[in-house]
Amino acid sequence: MERYAWKARVLPGKLEEYRRRHDEIWPELVAVLKEAGICNYTIWQTGDELFGYYECEKGSDYAARVQAESPVVDRWNLYMKDVMEMEMDPVTGAQPKMVQVFRLE
């Protein structure tokens, strides 16, 4: 199983709104993520920085492709644009893949 990590930033004064939107995550978005083989998805926050991690049962390329082709993901990204900033990879349409430098099993 591949692992995937991303980072982003919450816009000033928008943390509570960011959290509220995730507390009310759309069921259709959850369905797309599961279809993409994404599981064990967690987002952490410190100050205005966000760090996300998930595992890809079908591989990270597949997960990125399913998300890039999904109108639901496009809608979610647009919905979140006023509360956060995230660099997107122009090729995959997803967050740039972070490089793993250490892992303890």
Examine the pLDDT at 92 and tell me if it is beyond 80.
no
Name the residues annotated as catalytic. 22
Domain of residue 75, CATH code: 3.30.70.100
Chain centroid to CA 1: how far? Answer: 17
pLDDT digits (tens, 9 = 90+) for 8-63: 999 999 999 999 999 999 999 999 999 999 999 999 999 999 999 999 999 988 99
Q: Tokens in use for 78?
A: 């647009």
3-state DSSP call for residue 101? coil
Q: Please count the structural domains in the chain.
A: 1
What's the number of CA atoms in the CB half-sphere (13 Å) around residue 92?
Answer: 15
**Inside any domain, residue 40:** yes
pTM, entire model: 0.87
Residue 98 domain-assigned (yes or no): no
19 falls within a domain: yes
> What is the reported pLDDT for 86?
87
Whether the CB-CB separation of 63 and 4 falls below 8 Å is answered with yes
Of residues 14 and 98, more confidently modeled = 14
Tokens of 6: 């991303």
Q: Residue 23: inside a domain, yes or no?
A: yes
Angle CA(76)–CA(98)–CA(3) in degrees, nearest 5? Answer: 80
- What integer pLDDT is reported at residue 98 of this predicted model? 85
Q: Does 52 map to a domain?
A: yes
Q: How would you class 57 by CB atoms within 10 Å of its CB: exposed for 0-12, middle for 13-18, buried for 19 or more? A: middle
Q: What is the extent of the structural domain holding 28?
A: 2-85
93, part of any domain: no
Q: What local confidence, expressed as pLDDT, does residue 68 receive?
A: 87
